[in-house]
Amino acid sequence: MIVSLIATLTARPETREELFRLLVDQVGPTRAENGCIDYNLHVDAMDPHVFVFYENWKSQADLDAHMEMQHLKPLLSQIDRLLAKPIDIWRLRPAEPTGNG
């Protein structure tokens, strides 16, 4: 089953540009990973300190493998310093056509 995520990261004002560069650097390598359907980075239109990833994976195993990738290490090793608050993650699944979602 496809695994979809929305992850919101809020930068500290003093680390906004550094975080932005680290996030942008994740896009290409992540899109090339096995099981990545799409991986899109957005910036909140009202708050430039808020970044949102919308991502879809072929399976939970593919997402789990992504979280262990070497290219994430520079970001994950500094996450507490870079973020104003913890990452907010929404895990999504397709809605059932019966309306029972």
The tens-digit pLDDT sequence of the chain (101 residues) is 899 999 999 999 999 999 999 999 999 999 999 999 999 999 999 999 999 999 999 999 999 999 999 999 999 999 999 999 999 999 998 787 765 65
Amino acid identity for residue 68 in this structure:
E
Residue 8 carries which side chain, given as an amino acid letter? T
Q: Please give the pLDDT value at position 71.
A: 94
Let me know if residue 99 belongs to a domain. no
Tokens describing residue 90: 């929404």
Residue 7 belongs to some domain of the structure: yes
CATH number at residue 32: 3.30.70.100
Residue 40's SS3 state is strand
**Rounded to an integer, what distance in angstroms lies between the CA atom of residue 71 and that of residue 33?**
11
Relative to beta strand 88-92, strand 36-43 is unpaired
For residue 25, being part of any structural domain is answered with: yes
pLDDT number for residue 98:
65
Let me know if residue 98 belongs to a domain. no
- Domain interval for residue 60: 3-92
Domain total of the chain: 1
Residue 62 in domain: yes
**pTM score above 0.75:** yes
Token readout for 3 is 């695994």
Dist CA 99 CA 68 (whole Å): 36
d(C-alpha 57, C-alpha 78), whole Å: 25
